[in-house]
Chain A
């Protein structure tokens, strides 16, 4: 417990993304474009979690995520929590909320969908009941396990 608090409190200003499914940790790094950042980043993977068994955690110094970035995150880590850190203190715990409509985020797996053939945004509607995403244009459904986020 001491260790966990130390990990969260170790950055002065920034964001700690917690409760990422362990297997999705590096996917989150990529989809948020964290490899392009110059600020300090700490990545923890396969950490013990009483809630989900095994989790990932990412600490990003001097970075506060936009709504669009949080939407991207929600697709692969819907139960993640963003801890907003100011002056070594957690000032806000922000659970990720999946938007009903995701624009330009989810990749449509249907090669014959118009959205893969025109210079346009994909639009997917999230169905919370069975945790699936449906393409607005071709109605193709993808499950949470198989969903791919656009680069």
Chain B
């Protein structure tokens, strides 16, 4: 057989196998798919170092700096034996010369088996996944989606509660702009949660998400107060940062900024199983004294990002739970 025939045959096989394995959003994932990815993450927690990707190259394209997410993805790739190429600073890319995202993605697709990308524009990862011949993993696209954060949040909830079903999940702080709380809300729809929204009026959960809850049959309760009594029933207390720049009225910010700080005495009535999560970085919304309290779990949560991202990378490359 001629060498080009062999190449052509391989290209055909490649084309046939080319289903889009990109990980762009978690909103459309079924309960089974989420549980499957969590089972993979659990395997990686049991043994993080596995020589599964020694013949693979993973590109990490960070068009917007995000040290935490990039390090987590690159560590995940390295612990799986892959080689990593890419950039952490968009100033070094041809984007500054006017190159389109499409051209950058098509160029890097020639070198890498999977592309992890962070971009400041909303929908950038979805668009990239539609044009790229290799899978795209969304490491955050503007204010839109951050699905790997959601998967690690789900994994952490499962890890701490032993289940994802029938939990009381309290979301605190900026519920208007916080993409992590929105993604968590949509991903939890399979698991019969009861949500409690605790936020100042200016940063309340948007009506579209409350409508989503009603459409999906998700129970929710809204609070403006944040004290020991309100959070006594929580299984998960998910804290987020109230950001000054989100307020049009700075007087309003000054009025509410300290109302959503978690302090140690507020945990007096908390359930034993309750765990405090935070997507990090925190500023002052969780008192440092809480770090040593058994309810605090945000640093372990960040560590789980490694296992969740190992699962995401393997799944994008078509490596199954049985194969890891």
Contacts and interface: CB of A to CB of B under 8 A. Distances in A.
B291 interface: no
The majority secondary structure among interface residues of chain B is: mixed
A113 B142 CA distance: 9
B122 A110 contact: yes
Contacts of B203: none
Interface in B82-115: 100-102
A135 interface: yes
B122 A137 contact: yes
Contacts of B191: none
Contacts of B143: 112
A117 interface: yes
B142 A137 contact: no
**In which size bucket is the chain A interface?**
10 to 19
B123 interface: yes
A117 to B, nearest CB: 6
Given A114-B101, A118-B100, A119-B100, A136 B208 contact: no
Interface in B16-70: none
A8 interface: no
A114 B121 contact: yes
A120 interface: yes
Contact of A113 (B101, B102, B123, B208): B123
B100 A114 contact: no
Contact of B124 (A110, A114, A135, A139): A114
A141 interface: yes
Interface of B: 100-102, 119-124, 126-127, 141-144, 208
Interface of A: 110, 112-115, 117-120, 135-139, 141
